[in-house]
Structure 1
Amino acid sequence: MKRPVLIATTLLLLTGAGVADADARPDRYQLPGDAGGSKFEGIGADERRGLFYVSEVTGGEIHRGSSGSAQAAEWLTGDGTDGRFTARGITVDALGRVYVAGGPNGIGTGRPDLWVYSPDGVLLAALRAPGADVFLNDVAIGPDGAAYFTNSNDPQIYRVADDGTGWTATRWADASGVVERQPGFNLGGIVLTADRGAFVVAQGNTGKLWRFDAATGAVSAIATGADLVNADGLLRQGETLTVVRNFSRMLATLRLSADGRSATLVRQQATDPTRVLTTAKALRGQVLYVDSKFDEPTATPPYEIVTEPVS
């Protein structure tokens, strides 16, 4: 009597029937928010565990969700927890450790500029970046396993790692002689190139892309011929680079060479006019975009991560 059941099950597996239902995921994810309004910016993805982390600008809370569940939850409290009153870029390394950029959290306050947490939410490090007026915006994991943070106030990148003697933050690259500081947000989004030999970094106020050599820190311009003003988050998938242009409400798609030395515009697409998207990460076949609520004086729910950004 069991043979027909086994045959039917085998046929389902071979034909793929039922696979879509088993792997069905939400097209948007709900974030918890504060009664007085919440705004969001960064997102990190843990591909191995199927988790994503979202940073809250208003208060510095960190929220965590699963690719299979529509409802995220507060993972780390804010409002002064570990000296964190705001949070910006966020990423996850191969060990599941979570790195959080503090934006202006430490400017004029003596508070930390960044934090590192274990996968279980244990604080591993709360660090000040060397220098003054440091606004850590976004973060990416380098080929050496360290985390590299961009500075939106000056054209600098900071390296954060535990190299065996404890966690440290050092100024890894200073491109002041090449990248001109402009009013507004300077260096922001950062991704590693396909050949893992360089970082591509966005300068949001000018719309320029810059290449930082991963071995030397040397910087050079990447010619795109494209309007990338308000470039915020970057997402690289193979040779495809997506530039999220927050208040321009546009997504730019470029073909990026493996070494990051050249980029060609493929298309520009208008995003949902009711949202200001800041950045994106890929997680198990989906691209997740942060709806920041930056356009609302007092943000109101729903607070969402979306998978369909185009209007």
Structure 2
Amino acid sequence: MPSVRLRHPRVAAVAVASLFVMGAAAPALATPHASGRPTAASGHHHAPLPTSYTIPGSKTYPEGIARQQGTPFFYVGSTSDGTIYRGDVHQSATQVFLPGGKDGRTSVAGMKTDRAGRLIVAGGATGKVFVYDTRTRALLHVFDTGRTDTFLNDVALAPNGDAYISDSIHPALWHLTAAELKSKQVQQPLHVGVDLTNSPMVYDDGFNGNGLVVTANGRYVLLADYNDYAFYRVDLHTHQVVPIDLGSAKGVSGDGLLLRGNTLTAVTELDHPEGQISVLKLSHDYTKAELVRTVHGHGMHSPSTAAVDGHDLLIVNFQFQITNPVLPFNVVRVHA
């Protein structure tokens, strides 16, 4: 399909205020299973799982995804109007979970579900993070940066229950504490966790901070710089920011990031409309990475990110900036 893709497609933040990006825990990749198959997370072992999940609408442009552990559900958000859809891994169609525009949620990007059953949603150019109860659909919190020069892109959860949010335009790593998420106060300010202004991670025109994950020890955030094909280790105690040495690996970009142990998986569409999944092995201190392999195709159409479902990945086909997207929009299952 034709695309209005620029070399650095994130050059006009305002123009894409309704469009963009996410991270989780990752296995190694292989080819998708041809017919779908049960996974450990599904709880059903007698029927094959769908290989594709459809998302309604011709202008949806879904970006973020969250797989809710202990349930069959996953959540996907629309960058164009803020609608949040819920899917069941056993059914091929998704349904509207929260209508777009409600609570001022006019666009959404990355999202995660935590152990308490909360859905934490990065609100893109709204500068807000929305938190919902997945059981009741009730709005629990709106955390607001109070800024207009911001694009809250992705969400990562720490072992202690804190959440971190990347910003693609403003040089900051935002922070939600577990206490703030548990509080009864709905409207709250969103605070900067790490100021990236004078760090080695330089914010250029366009989209910068993107996919992010928190390491298992809770010490570091690994953050992708989308514009510059770079990754950084952010120390949450000292606020030191260190570039991750990619060695000979070239053209590795991180829209969505997944982390399992020392294996980092990066999903992107940048320069790869057929999709690129890069599997990297990290050093014990997370400052070096070796590219193990890349995966292209397999039903991907300009994907943004992924969530883990058992031994599979659920890949969101964002189709960013594609004027005539492949319809229906969907999430595809890749067997690992």
TM-score interval for Structure 1 and Structure 2 normalised by the shorter chain: 0.7 to 0.9
Where does residue 293 of structure 1 map in the other structure? 319
Matched, 1:28 2:52: yes
In structure 2, give the amino acid aligned to 1:83.
G
Task: Tell me by how many angstroms 1:132 deviates.
Answer: 4.4
Deviation at 1:100, TM superposition (A): 0.8
Aligned counterpart, 1:205? 227
> Structure 2 unaligned runs (5+)?
1-42
Alpha-carbon shift at residue 94 of structure 1 (Å): 1.0
The answer as to whether partners of 2:300 and 2:317 remain within 8 angstroms in 1 is no
Cα pair distance change 1:224/1:230, threshold 3 Å: closer
Greater displacement, 171-180 / 213-222: 213-222
Contact 1:277–1:292 (CA under 8 A) maintained in structure 2: yes
- Indicate the structure (1 or 2) with the bigger Cα radius of gyration: 1
The unaligned stretches of length 5 or more in structure 1 are 1-18, 107-112
Aligned to 1:150: 166
**Match in the other structure for 2:116:** 95
Q: Give the secondary-structure state (helix, strand or coil) at the position aligned to 2:334.
A: coil
Output the CA distance in 1 between the equivalents of 2:184 and 2:85.
30
CA separation in 2, counterparts of 1:143 and 1:155? 24
8 Å contact kept, 1:194–1:259: no
CA distance in 2, matches of 1:217, 1:292: 32
Q: Which residue of 2 aligns with 1:39?
A: 61
* 1:134, distance to aligned residue in structure 2 (A): 1.4
How far apart are residue 282 of structure 1 and its match? 0.2
Paired AA for residue 210 in structure 1: Y
Is 1:127 the counterpart of 2:143? The answer is: yes
Structure whose residues are more often helix by fraction? 1
Give the counterpart letter for 1:136 in structure 2: L
Higher relative contact order (CA closer than 8 Å, sequence separation 6+): 2
Q: TM-score, normalised by structure 2?
A: 0.78
CA deviation after TM superposition for structure 1 residue 50, in Å: 2.8
Q: Is the 8 A contact 2:109 2:153 kept in 1?
A: yes
In the alignment, is residue 83 of structure 1 matched against residue 107 of structure 2? no
Q: Distance in 1 between matches of 2:326 and 2:120?
A: 27
Corresponding residue number in structure 2 for 1:222: 244
Give the equivalent residue in structure 1 for 2:125: 104
Q: 282, 285, 297: which is aligned to 1:256? A: 282
Give a deviation string over 1:240-273, Cα, whole Å, max 9, x none. 2111121322221100235423211112233358
Quick check: 1:39–1:292 contact (8 Å CA) kept in 2? yes
CA gap 1:20/1:157 in 2 versus in 1, 3 angstroms: closer
The aligned counterpart of 1:268 is: 294
Matched, 1:118 2:118: no
SS in 2 for 1:212: strand
1:77-98 Cα deviation digits (max 9, x unpaired): 00x2100111111111111100
Cα offset, 1:105, TM superposition: 2.5
Q: 1:243 to 1:65 in 2, by over 3 A?
A: same
After superposition, what is the alpha-carbon deviation per residue over 1:135-172, rounded to whole angstroms, capped at 9, x for unaligned? Answer: 10001112321211001013311112443473542111
> Is 2:164 the counterpart of 1:138?
no
TM-score, structure 1 normalization: 0.84
Deviation at 1:202, TM superposition (A): 0.3
Structure-1 residue corresponding to 2:176: 160
- Which stretch shows the higher mean deviation, 277-286 or 21-30? 21-30
Percent of matched pairs sharing the same residue: 31
